[in-house]
Amino acid sequence: MRIDVVTGFPKMFRGPLNESIIRQAKKKNLLQIRVHYLRRFTHDKHKTIDDTPFGGGAGMVLKPEPIFECIESLQAKREYDDVIYLTADGETLTQKIANELSLKSNLIMLCGHYKGIDDRVRQKLVTREISIGDYVLTGGETAALVLIDTIARLVPGVIGDAESLLSDSFQEGLLDCPQYTRPAEFRSMKVPDELLSGNHKVIERWRHQHKLDRTKARRKDLLS
């Protein structure tokens, strides 16, 4: 999979994209991530990427020219499955969406900033708009990192034990159950006997029941 990120703040991606699972995915050539600096697609001496909004009001808006030039230059080299704009008014990211996007080959992620982007970009270039929650961030860079992480771990081969993905929260429409590891007793707190029984049917029954219990307690909306 290849992901191209379009941003006015490329330094925000340096650390997160070179750690943990994403770093391993890149080393295995299972994931390519290219970050494109919007200011390189401007032609005035100040490298301007934003301007005041028509109609007045506070804040700044990302200009259409550098975004069009950047994305169109990428599209001239390869075909993209989606051009995703990270925005507070997009569809809310879910595990189902992450599963769907993990099957794609080429994605562009456009990061808004300030008051957002000129709407003509959304009309002509953007094919999908995604939000990571009902709150406002300084820009789409943090949201893009979240989206990249949710997708990358689902790409075949990225996580060695692929079976572990099937039990993640939301994969079955439920939250995950409590997890334990060694030692079996720590500060007088014991691991449930069912998990120590070695009986797979008992273990699976315990896990499923605790997934239901946790979901009922924390996210009843998922059960509906």
pLDDT in tens, 56-71: 999 999 999 999 999 9
pLDDT score at 39: 97
- Consecutive H or E run containing 72: helix 64-75
Classify each residue of 85-96 as buried b or exposed e, where b means 16 or more C-beta atoms within 10 Å of its C-beta.
bbbbebeebeee
Asked if pLDDT for residue 160 goes beyond 90, the answer is: no
Q: For residue 50, which of 59, 39, 63, 41 has the smallest C-alpha distance? A: 63
Residues 6+ positions from 106 with CB-CB distance below 8 Å: 1, 2, 3, 4, 78, 79, 80, 81
Q: For residue 92, which of 59, 39, 133 has the smallest C-alpha distance? A: 133
Domains and CATH numbers, the chain: 2-152 (3.40.1280.10), 167-223 (1.10.1270.20)
Confidence category of residue 171, pLDDT binned at 50, 70, 90: confident
pLDDT score at 172: 78
User: What span, in angstroms and rounded, lies between the C-alpha atoms of 54 and 44?
Assistant: 20
Provide the sign of the torsion angle of the four alpha carbons 201, 202, 207, 210, taken in this order: positive
User: What span, in angstroms and rounded, lies between the C-alpha atoms of 55 and 134?
Assistant: 26
pTM over 0.85: yes
Confidence category of residue 163, pLDDT binned at 50, 70, 90: low
Tokens linked to 58: 């506070």
pLDDT score at 170: 72
Q: Where are the beta strands (DSSP E) in the chain?
A: 2-7, 32-37, 50-51, 61-62, 82-92, 106-111, 128-131, 185-186, 189-190
Tokens linked to 29: 């050539």
Asked if pLDDT for residue 167 goes beyond 70, the answer is: no
**pLDDT above 90 coverage of the chain, percent:** 91
Confidence category of residue 224, pLDDT binned at 50, 70, 90: confident
